[in-house]
Amino acid sequence: MNDAESSETDKSERDPRFCSMPKEALEELAVSAIQEHRRLLAADEAVYEEWTRASGDPSVSSDVLANLQDEYIARQKKSEAQQEELSQIIDALGYIPDVPLDDAN
């Protein structure tokens, strides 16, 4: 596939609702999506850490471990979907806006 074909494919896969938005609204949406992505990553990391901690604790039941694993996998799927939407927003915007870190980070 040459670059022109690749570019056409990329354009056809873009979400039209983002491409038709005004740049200012799109930038606001991108900032919000980046902040949400950061929150999801932090929450995912907390669940992962709990799961790995529990995995090393022989007093934790296999049911609890399975629940933690299931929750982590479900969170990963949600994060993947949110990341895909964020990618489409940034593609439509054409750049990654500056987003300051939260004070809590």
> Could you tell me the pTM of the whole model?
0.75
22-93, superfamily in CATH? HR1 repeat (1.10.287.160)
93: Cβ–Cβ under 8 A, 6 or more apart, which residues?
18, 23, 26, 27, 30
What is the spatial distance between Cα 37 and Cα 1, in angstroms, rounded to a whole number?
A: 32
Query: What sign does the CA torsion over 18, 23, 25, 30 have?
Result: positive
Sorted by where each begins, the domain ranges of the chain are 22-93
CB 28 within 8 A of CB 49: no
From first to last of its 105 residues, the chain has per-residue pLDDT tens of: 444 444 444 544 566 778 888 899 999 999 999 999 999 999 999 999 999 999 999 999 999 999 999 999 999 999 999 999 999 999 999 999 999 887 554
